[in-house]
Amino acid sequence: MSTALSDVLARFECKMNQFQSSIRTPEGRTAALTTAEQDIDSAKRLVLSMLTRRNMFVPISTLPAEILSRIFHFYVSSVRPYSHTLRLGRAVAVTHVCRHWRQVALDDSTLWTHFLESSYFPNEEWIAERLSRARNAPLVIEFCQSTYRDTASLFTPHISHTRELYLRNLPFLNHSVIMHRVSTQKTPALERLEISISEDYPVSFRHSFFDGPFPKLRTFCVSQIVYPWSFFPRGQLTQLKVTLSDYSEPRISTDLDQLIDLLVNCPALEVLSLENCLPAALSESSGGQTIHLPHLSRLCLTGSSSHLTNLFKMLKLSSSTSLRLNCTLEAALTHNEHVMLLVLSAHFNNPIPIEFRSLKINLHPVDGVVNLVASTSLPTLPIPHPHIIHAKTDVDAELSLSLSRLSHSDGEVIVRRACEVLPISKLEFLSIAAGRSVNWGEVFRPCTEVTTVQLCGDGLTNINLLSALGPPNDYDNNNSVSAPAQMLIFPKLRSLFLHRLFFNQEAPGSGLLHDFVLSVVKRREATKAPLRMLSITGCVISAKKAAALEEVVSHLNWDHNEEYEDYEYNL
């Protein structure tokens, strides 16, 4: 190869010498320039040939084409958002490396099947080119708010071999045009369909979305669309999600019998989410009807407490089904809320009893909201700085229960009742935010397995639980170093996490909150149930007072926050 290149250079040098005498005329210069350009093209082709041969010996080029293509798929799925490669599609980058890579990428039609919002297609010609490269492979198409109607029309002939179709956050007028263009198509390959409209109030559809059946559809999600239950596909669905805005429910008068018929005929459902779309007739008795969903792993219901309670009573689920229940009280605390707790208790005991090991409680007295999260697993330790506890943040929990429009007293009643009926006797981790007047010592005294407690918020809102962590205040530590264990709540407690407490606050009858916490820790030490770790984060406490606490625990974790931080937060 080096000899061939030397020959080219020698020939070029010889010709240049010959042209020296002939380039004195315009015609001679033109001819010499043409010859030089031809020689340059020959040299470029030679160099490219040499590069191609070199690349053939690179180890990755010796891989079989199917393995190399698989690597391309991993690369395409791992490109960071907003990367410059998104401008032409993620698969384009691998076609610009070498001829072999380009050919392997072009031969794999599945590399070109994703047309998503995150991808930027500069013109219609490029969309057509990608569709051509995808050939007849199943497509994944996403139309979003910025999708042009003309652009959407390019995909219409390809709906028949589309595997996933997303119509997300489209304005209603644009949505209607796009839907009209694609809904006349057959969808024999469609497995996932998601449709949402970016309107404050839901819009109504009184016709089926597509022409013909959905033989492969498994996931169907609609948002801000009032769609008759009778039009929903049946039989093979494994995921069904219907979401309306939280003030939409009073407008909905969908037929309860149609919803029951839909659920009865979808026995393969694994995920069911119905948010603010439950029929008004559910406010009445369920009539003893039963809906069997043996494969359901996750259930999410949002709406009024009576609607949720009556629908939940109709469902026959496995005790392992995770629940996300967001209830809104219709008036004052009613019998429905207590019935719901009893139904929940029965759910987690049938057929296989479940024992929760982790429980998080958050009382929002100002907002009138109670959040309760219970899980059979423990959080990963060490616990990071805790943020606002909210049911939706605990995606792996078996139970996330949220009740709104509660008075402060009603919220405490619900929490007490929930702790009575839910299976928490084996509880090991407990997190509480707010709830000043709740007698936590009484509520959690049966939970003797607790090893870790986390308290969030103003220290005075948790004063009752702090007090319950130690024996009575009048207990004489000097004379009774072997205090009876029954005087303690959580006799196995070893770790206490305090977050956003103000240690310079006055604790009732105990001086500063710091002194109160110090007293509790010392009393546990005296009863031979000492804390091994005390964590203080986001709290206002001086170095001197932190040092005093460090003397009475084996390990102190403190973020050294000595000054007041002027910011607002809700707990």
Q: Map out the domains of the chain as residue ranges.
A: 2-57
- The per-residue pLDDT of the chain, averaged, comes to 78
Q: How far is 131 from 111, CA to CA, in rounded Å?
A: 11
pLDDT > 70 fraction of the chain, expressed in percent and rounded = 76
Whether 422 shows a pLDDT value over 70: the answer reads yes
pTM of the model: 0.79
Whether 387 shows a pLDDT value over 50: the answer reads no
> Is there a contact between 249 and 229 (Cβ–Cβ < 8 Å)?
no
Helix (H), strand (E) at residue 125: helix 124-134
* Token couple for 140: 């994944």
- The per-residue pLDDT for 115 is 85
- The per-residue pLDDT for 426 is 92
Query: How would residue 109 be classed by pLDDT, with cut points 50, 70 and 90?
Result: very high
Q: Phi and psi for 479 in degrees, rounded to 5?
A: -100, -10
Q: How far is 270 from 504, CA to CA, in rounded Å?
A: 51
Q: Is the peptide bond before 351 cis (omega within 30 degrees of 0)?
A: yes
- The per-residue pLDDT for 202 is 80
What length is written for the chain?
Answer: 571
> Is there a contact between 312 and 286 (Cβ–Cβ < 8 Å)?
no
Q: How far is 15 from 34, CA to CA, in rounded Å?
A: 12
